[in-house]
Copies of this chain bind each other. A is one copy, B any other.
């Protein structure tokens, strides 16, 4: 159990361990580094105003949206739009489908739910 220099407990152990020696201060890190990296990567993918708006557009529309229509909503070059869509796609948050000359994008609700769920869990643990 972690003690500060006053000898006070600075981390309360929960349920499983009420006594010293049961589980040390390392216990307060309950998340695998790997999970943290996966989650951080998802958050990083959303962490741009452009990509937030892209997700908004795609979700607001029930189905597929043509890249050309996304492009027209921003004052950005075509390569930049393509880059941002690529970031969201590589993160697994959206998916694309080629139909003829056009590419259509749509959100992957499962991926969004995963991120949303983790955040909801954080807030919920706060009694």
- A20 within 8 A of partner (CB): no
Q: Is the interface of A mostly helix, strand, loop or mixed?
A: helix
Which residues of chain B are near A122, meaning CB under 8 Å? 55-56, 59, 107, 109, 112, 116
With A28-B73, A56-B36: A14-B61 Cβ-Cβ less than 8 Å:
yes
B43 and A52 form a contact (CB under 8 A): yes
- A126 within 8 A of partner (CB): yes
- A85 within 8 A of partner (CB): no
Q: Which residue of B is nearest A48, CB measured? A: B40
B112 and A123 form a contact (CB under 8 A): yes
- A120 within 8 A of partner (CB): yes
- A7 within 8 A of partner (CB): no
- A30 within 8 A of partner (CB): yes
Query: Per-residue 0/1 for A50-83: is the Cβ within 8 Å of any B Cβ (1 yes, 0 no)?
Result: 1111011101111101101100110000000000
Which one of A40, A102, A116, A119 has the highest number of Cβ atoms from chain B below 10 Å of its Cβ? A119
Give 5 closest A-B pairs by Cβ, nearest first: A116-B119, A44-B47, A10-B66, A43-B47, A112-B123
